[in-house]
């Protein structure tokens, strides 16, 4: 065997080493994406916190009805959709394709209801005059930060719903397996986790004071 | 590769689900407490971190992964998030013309 062959052999052996941390590569990539996405949301929330802290006339416009109740319902739906996703993953791991697919559709339905409630909330605020560049309750930056953060989250929910339907259909058709459902589940749970920070900081800290 | 990874029981998932719902409900209760804004923020942040911790460990099954991966995710994420906190003193400077230490 020549030196060149030995070198190539060693190189290919190097390439075929196991995945870092002994987890599937696709799952590792999803985790890395989620870590970077967490940094994105954290940066948005920090920028919001900075602006809120540095603005003396920051408004607190959210009334119990409709905004806080709406946020409660949205939170319940999103957390429950995480549970239905877990049931879908469990069914997929057990090899029960139709059950897994059905629970994925239920999860997607939860995401759709969440998005509808969110858009209704937005339309209500827009109807009161709040936009990206204007806010009837005080500083304009309130509208910019509110719509930016909730919009970024809504974008993630919408992407998740599309992914749930597409991956679900391909899983049922045999192109994807249970591991793919689990990896998509990581994304869906992450969207749920982000909402757990958006609700207290963007909604609940801006609740209108009661006397 | 651990595609046959144990994901625990459904009963445990339900317990974590209920715990997260209860913590979320507590946040709504805190929003209507007559307390200082900084205190309200601190309580909400603590509860949000608790919720996220439960979600990451048990819903996303990080607890079931190898210890090395758990430490990698935790250290890497927390470092990045902690490093973003350098900006707060400046937000107080804009508000009162003095950094946080002088503000109090």
Tokens of B39: 């205190």
- Nearest Cα residue in chain A from B60: A186
Chain B environment of A178 (Cβ under 8 Å):
3
Task: Select from B21, B44, B94 the Cβ nearest to the Cβ of A204.
Answer: B44
Q: Flag whether pLDDT at B2 surpasses 50.
A: no
Residue A189's Cβ-count burial label (10 Å; 0-12, 13-18, 19+) is: buried
How confident is residue A16, by pLDDT bands cut at 50, 70 and 90? Answer: low
Contact B81 A38 (CB under 8 A): yes
- What is the ipTM score, two decimals? 0.88
Tell me how close the Cα of B102 comes to any Cα of chain A, in angstroms: 15
Global pTM reads 0.89
pLDDT in tens, B61-95: 999 999 999 999 999 888 888 888 888 878 877 77
- Confidence (pLDDT) at B94: 75
Most confident of A9-13, A137-141, A197-201, B3-7: A197-201
Chain B environment of A68 (Cβ under 8 Å):
28, 31
- Confidence (pLDDT) at A134: 87
What are the contacts of B9-12 at 24+ separation with CB within 8 A?
B10/A86, B10/A87, B10/A90, B12/B58
How confident is residue B99, by pLDDT bands cut at 50, 70 and 90? Answer: low
Tokens of B3: 């595609």
C-alpha span between A50 and B91 (Å, rounded):
5
Check: CB of residue A79 under 8 Å from CB of residue A192. Answer: yes
- Confidence (pLDDT) at B41: 93
What DSSP assignment string belongs to B72-96? HHHHHHHHHHHHGGGGHHHHHHHHH
Give the domain ranges of chain B: 7-64, 67-104
Handedness of CA A129, A134, A139, A143 (dihedral sign): positive
Task: Return the residue in B4, B12, B31 with the most chain A beta carbons within 10 A, the one to mutate for interface testing.
Answer: B31
Give the domain ranges of chain A: 23-206
pLDDT in tens, A35-89: 999 999 999 999 999 999 888 889 999 999 999 999 999 999 999 999 999 999 9
Q: Could you give the 3-state DSSP secondary structure of residue A133? A: coil
Task: Select from A50, A79, A210 the Cβ nearest to the Cβ of B91.
Answer: A50
Interface check B57 vs A, CB under 8 A? no
Task: Return the percentage of chain A with pLDDT > 90, whole number.
Answer: 77
> How many A-B residue pairs are in contact by the CB < 8 A criterion?
131
- Nearest Cα residue in chain A from B86: A46
CATH class given for the domain over A23-206? mainly alpha
Tell me how close the Cα of B72 comes to any Cα of chain A, in angstroms: 9
pLDDT in tens, B16-70: 999 999 999 999 999 999 998 889 999 999 999 999 999 999 999 999 999 999 9
Reply yes or no: is the peptide bond before residue A66 cis, omega within 30 of 0. Answer: yes
């Amino acid at each position: 065997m020549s030196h060149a062959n030995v070198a190539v052999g060693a190189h290919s052996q190097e390439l075929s080493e196991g995945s870092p941390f002994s987890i599937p590569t696709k799952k590792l990539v999803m985790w890395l994406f989620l870590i970077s996405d967490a940094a994105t949301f954290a940066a948005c929330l920090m920028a919001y916190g900075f602006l809120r802290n540095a603005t003396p006339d920051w408004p607190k416009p959210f009334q119990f009805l409709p905004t806080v109740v709406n946020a409660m319902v949205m939170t319940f739906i999103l957390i429950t959709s995480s549970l239905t996703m877990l049931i879908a993953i469990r069914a997929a791991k057990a090899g029960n394709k139709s059950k897994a697919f059905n629970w994925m559709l239920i999860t997607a339905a939860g995401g759709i209801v969440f998005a509808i409630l969110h858009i209704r909330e937005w339309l209500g605020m827009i109807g009161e005059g709040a936009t990206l560049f204007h806010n009837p309750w005080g500083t304009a930056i309130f509208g910019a930060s509110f719509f930016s953060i909730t919009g970024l989250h809504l974008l993630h929910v919408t992407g998740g719903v599309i992914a749930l339907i597409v991956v679900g259909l391909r899983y049922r058709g045999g192109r994807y397996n249970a591991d793919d459902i689990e990896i998509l589940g990581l994304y869906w749970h992450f969207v749920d986790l982000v909402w757990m920070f958006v609700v207290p900081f963007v909604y609940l800290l801006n609740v209108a004071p009661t006397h | 590769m651990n595609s046959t990874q144990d994901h625990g029981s459904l009963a445990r998932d339900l317990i974590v689900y209920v715990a997260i719902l209860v913590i979320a409900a507590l946040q709504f209760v805190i929003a209507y407490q007559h307390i200082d804004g900084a205190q309200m923020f601190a309580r909400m942040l603590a509860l949000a971190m608790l919720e996220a911790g439960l979600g990451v460990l048990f819903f996303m099954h990080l607890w079931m992964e190898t210890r090395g991966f758990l430490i990698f995710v935790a250290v890497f994420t927390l470092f990045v998030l902690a490093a973003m906190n350098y900006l707060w003193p400046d937000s107080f400077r804009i508000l009162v013309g003095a950094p946080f230490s002088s503000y109090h």
